[in-house]
Chain A
Amino acid sequence: MEKKITIEPVTRVEGHGKVTIYIDDEGNISQSRLHIVEFRGFERFVQGRPYWEAPVLVQRLCGICPVSHHLAAAKALDVIVGAGTGDGLTPTGEKMRRLMHYGQMFQSHALHFFHLVSPDLLFGVDGDPIVRNIIGVAKKYPELAVQGVMMRKFGQEIIRATAGKKIHGTGAIPGGINKHLTQEEKESFLKGADPLNADKMISWSVDALQFLKDYHKDNKDFIDNFAAFPSSHLSLVRKDGALDLYHGVLRAVDADGKKILNDVDYQDYLNYINEEVRDWSYMKFPFLTEYGKKDGWYRVGPLARLNTCEFIPTPLAQKEFEIYKAYTNGKPNHSSMHMHWARLIELLHSAEVIKDLLNDPDLMSGELTVKGEKRNEGVGLIEAPRGTLFHHYRINEHDQISMANLIVSTTNNNQPMNEAVNHAAKQFMTGQKVITEGMMNAVEVAIRAYDPCLSCATHALGQMPLEIVLKDSSDKELDRKRR
């Protein structure tokens, strides 16, 4: 008789989800599902609101990377106010937004690595959950914990200086930005007391990368093979093929690295991307229309970005990118756990970009906004920390939003996360009669690699109310364990 295991809630991810794993009579995994049980409804309730409200309203989707939503919405509205499709802003407008975005990328990646992932690496996947958390890290590795906290603080301060607030600011407005960077802010980020300055952030990013590379050396099999599976990858890239997290054209490559979406204008994304609804999750399943529901799914996020781009336009990150690419002989990387490696290369890249931008005089003076001929529709895409984020709005003749379509990064990674859960379950649970803490966490580790943001900013620390329910195929409960 088939058995069903439920892991609920999935912990140390942003938001709430649950996992169901079905085991047949022989102890083989027959099916695994990651259910997203939240429903937010932003696409509906922004309708009727004035369009300029969208960047401030919609960012409330999240408390971890609201800047992504803030900027993606602002980019869509740039199109509506006639400020071009991503390249029409004033130098000040574009660079201030870039600084805001890279500040966010830096803080979000630091948060994910130090707060959410490092406990698994430092204490092991099957480590005691009482200590396998950020509090445990702070007690045993205080220097590392402090680094994580201070790196996040630096990124948050960049956001405050550009958006007005660390969380849910108002900086990006249709057609540009509402403020300059002050001399005082610039000085504090470039020459701030140790450790809160750009040079230290670059140096700590290099250290974090080294920490992961050392861990990789000692745990090759786990890092290379855990929840590894081939897939296509999608992201924005700069027109010349460089990694660009703020703006670019849409590119997808297949598992062998062949371009299957060739640098298209994202204003036309509906011609290339579709979404499937499945009755067991509130989260849709996007796919490349040309390749269909079964084969058209793709991954987004750091792993995908380093698979689609050709180079990184900052020196230290480029050097690390070359080492990273050489590991897979230049072919696309399909290891879920290499997502952490890719994320830390982006962390370093973000720190370098922040330093370069801070030295740019355009941040301190110049026109803030630009407007042109108004349109009634606009699409804004951005590479959020977790992957490609789509915002699409239409407005009526009275300036009210009449349609909104959001495809958030985690939605793009829906099928990949389900694949990762299935691979982890097969690796750790096949033929097992007793479900251990390590097995449960292995499933979470696979999901956590994608840094999913399940639509809210729930952080759970310490002891988790993790529960496993064993059920037969008729949903009758056979056993229940709770920690």
Chain B
Amino acid sequence: MKKAKSSEPLVRISKRTDISPKLSVGVRVIAIAAAFIVCALVITAITNGRAMPWDVYSQMLKGAFGTVRRVKITLRDTCALLCLGLALAPAFKMRFWNIGAEGQALIGALASTVIIKLCPGLPWWLMLLVMLVASVVAGALWGVIPAAFKATIGANETLFTLMMNYVAYQLVNVVCIFWEKQKGSSDIGVFDRGTLPKLFGVDYGISIVVILLLTAIIYVYMKYSKQGYEISVVGESENTARYIGINVKKVIIRTMMISGGLCGLAGFLLVSGTHHTLNTGIVGGNGFTAIIVAWLAHLNPIFMLLTSFFVSFLDIGTAQIATSCQLNTYASDIVVGIALFFILGCEFFINYKVVFRNSKKAKEAA
């Protein structure tokens, strides 16, 4: 019983406040390197040595950059993810947990589709313009509904935005069945209109340029605009915001309008620039992956360029490994999972330190 004198647990975790920027970058680099090493070993193990670690890396690089076309596809996927990450950043900065980017983008894609189907006679530029407006409005609406409930009756936005995904998902199903190309197939087919003009030889060229511009705009908006400042004050403390005369309700609704509207824009770009079709899979889970992209970048749009590229590279690279090693996407999902686990894990070690009972005693003794 004597030993139990100290009530301190064997291991405890405490907040770290003193980490230097250099060290925090170093920890991240180590985490990424460790992730790649472990991932390659896992692949080598499940292929019984058919693919050695260096094959894994060369295949990943080949998958993402092997040809000019592959580089373009990597950029396309990066931007698709980045756009949703950018959309989430203002909401998260405000501590509004928008888990509904998937649905907001889907509803934007749906709005574009409705315009394509209902107004076939419009000139191409006018059709694109109407699609753009419809998508942004639809996305904004999908974002504002939970925001309005949060601002007025304090409804939990995490659950609300999550549930709105499923509503959007089923609405897309309804529309696909309504305009299905073959009876009973619920396949809406590929659209022959409402397509963005080509840039750099690809129809998603404009999407890439728009999203890169958007990155700069969101950066400036969050960092230098009055509204951006209001967002961060509301995020830090609603009471402070009220005290200094910020209309919190207005900020919540306005910010979610922007967040949802940008998701709607992403939906428009997916339909007009990339897929030219509509189904429940066209956002492809990016609405959720974007949460990781945004947080890994600490909500900084410029860092998001890096994180969205990293996640897309992992996705494309592991898909290439699955093809070349005759595996399937379960294997790539495992690898992506391991890599993200390392990266998220390192954030933990940057923010906290693990303190052992003995080490503290040793310190006191010294």
**A and B are partners in one complex rather than unrelated chains:** no
